[in-house]
Structure 1
Amino acid sequence: MVEDWARINKKVPRLVRVLPIGPVNYPTASAFLAGGVPEVMLHLRKLGLLHEDVLTVTGETLGANLDWWEKSERRKKCRERLVEIDGVNPDEDVIEIIVDTNKLEGSINFIGTENNKLSYEEAAKVLEAREPNPRLRPDEDLPDDTRLWAALQSISGGTWGGCVYDVDKIIEVIEAGKKALY
């Protein structure tokens, strides 16, 4: 059993691990919309690393479940939301999901398209240049305390800054705003 794990680990040295707010700027929701575990399993199947004939809790084989997922309406909707929310087209844009199983850290990266692979720096510039989805906006029903928390968090470096307050930065921005307004 350990030998199987070691053999497969050498062929696929990185697996997916995400956290509620990351790591490295990509929340769990992005991994879900990219297809989550079933999508990773489709890639593992293409590499010939799965026993597709094993039965699953659905009573179907793993292969049958992956066939279903690949053609499912749910997958289609997830992929559509990925385009809407993140501006990433899963059929054109290439998303790389990396986790170093030794360090247990990783990332989800846009790395270009099937015909045009980009460096991380080039991909970041492409994403930066894309217009955000016009429907992306705060929920109108957010309570005031949530709106205040979001504003303070934004000033402090945002979600990717660790969701912590940078009191000095907040005071600096408030003072600059006071000077500009008064």
Structure 2
Amino acid sequence: MTDDAPTPPPEDFRRDLLAAIPALRGFARGLCGNRDLADDLAQDALAKAWAARDSYMPGTHFRAWLFRILRNHYFSLGRRAHRFAPWDEALADRVLVTTATQGSGIDIADVQRGLSTLPAEQREALLLVSASGLSVEEAAAVMGCAVGTVKSRVSRGRAALNLYMNGATEAPPPQVRPAA
């Protein structure tokens, strides 16, 4: 860290860190689809952020910095795939589910299943922008890609999720750009 970039006071950093916990947990849960693993990911990201608080540049997007820590940690764990159990559709069908008592609204389990059908890049972009409330620019910084790429992924992810929620059982066909 350079001398011209002051370290934020610990109480300010702590306050910002605590305020970001719900959104961080939501993003983690959307990424992995497992409540326990999501809590572990969020806790690890918070610990890593606290340990690296001297490297945070005040005046930059704190939540984007924190989400990137969580994202990088998640993908590091993903590279060690033997720790993750594969999705077992037969087992999922055998699990008892209580039907919703309300007459309207979207069942969260359906949305989670729909999100799991999306490619990882679309799911991540959709979670960052739509669920976590980051701007497209902040999401691009977290994902390490161009703003237009994030917009495209969010748009395609929303379209595919909409198809799934309306009863489509297969993934939508890939979009083909017309020849110039």
- TM-score over 0.5 for the alignment? no
Structure of higher RCO (CA pairs closer than 8 Å, 6+ residues apart): 2
More helix, by proportion: 2
Instruction: Output the TM-score relative to the length of structure 1.
Output: 0.33
Q: Indicate the structure (1 or 2) with the bigger Cα radius of gyration.
A: 1
Which one has a larger percent strand, Structure 1 or Structure 2? 1
